[in-house]
Amino acid sequence: MASNRRPLLRLLPSPSSARNPSNPSLYNPKAPTLPLPPQDLAQRCDVVFTMVGHPSDVRQIVFGSDGVLSGLNPNSVIVDNTSSHPALARDIFAAARGKGCWAVDAPVSGGDIGARDGKLAIFAGGDGRVVKWLTPLFEIFGRVTYMGEAGCGQSCKIANQITVGANLLGLSEGLVFAERAGLNVTQFMEAVRGGAAGSMAMELFGERVIKRDFRAGGFAEYMVKDLGMGVDVVEEGEDERVVVLPGAALCKQLFSGMVANGDGKLGTQGLITVVERINGK
């Protein structure tokens, strides 16, 4: 995702630090990408954006011995764009406030196209005044919506992924059925996209699926992570907040099938391969 934001991040003359040493100039060739631990980077910046893979990565990069939190100056802000766990976002917020700093959980949606075009949807949780202050930075790569207190941004992203997963499954099954029924699948998609079957999932991924383009805007293995966090949140909730999500459970099982088949690094639109295998293709 960060690599797809490269043209936009060139607008920011701020230092960056890449966890992967093979990406030394990932962001802005005019600004230094420093071989520094997050702690040292945080000491140089008023606002630190993080985007990594999993909650365990977030915990390490924030709370580790050389993590961001240990280097933040008073009134600095850490903004985590990772899709992570709401409880972890609340922990980071509390720890930041304990140091006289701020934290915002701000996961994004929109895939590689949204990142490239600066049209990501950004879901922000934390102090509303801080989110408002950060809005000019958010607007460089998308549109921010303030969702509420710390952790609400992450909860919104989980709900987003539940919705996206169901949309991708519907798109996959519709295309598999249309092909089995002898329809031209491109013609099928053009016929239905203007009706109730139309969706952002169809606009972003429909043509890619037909062309067998499964390059990742978001990894299938990350969808398993996100849907799994939804299950965690439900199981940890109070009785009156527990909800049954049969569609999310099914989607998690199917995306897990992609990972088990060695396709976890494909894009989420590769879900159609699981539906095809179920149907003997």
Which residues belong to the active site?
157
Measured at the CA of 262, the angle between CA 256 and CA 266, to 5 degrees, comes to: 80
In angstroms and rounded to an integer, the radius of gyration of the C-alpha atoms of the chain is 20
Amino acid at 71: G
Cβ-contact 156, 177 below 8 angstroms: no
**Cβ neighbours of residue 132 closer than 8 Å, sequence gap 6 or more:** 146
- CA-wise closest residue to 31 among 16, 46, 48: 16
- CA-wise closest residue to 186 among 195, 197, 175, 198: 175
- CA-wise closest residue to 78 among 66, 89, 64, 65: 89
Distance CA 37, CA 190 (A): 50
- Give the dihedral sign, CA 189/194/197/199: positive
Q: How many residues does the chain have?
A: 281
Distance CA 119, CA 260 (A): 32
Residue ranges of alpha helices (H) inside the chain are: 6-9, 38-44, 55-63, 68-71, 86-98, 111-117, 128-141, 152-180, 185-192, 200-210, 220-236, 246-260, 271-278
Which tokens in the block code for residue 98?
């304990």
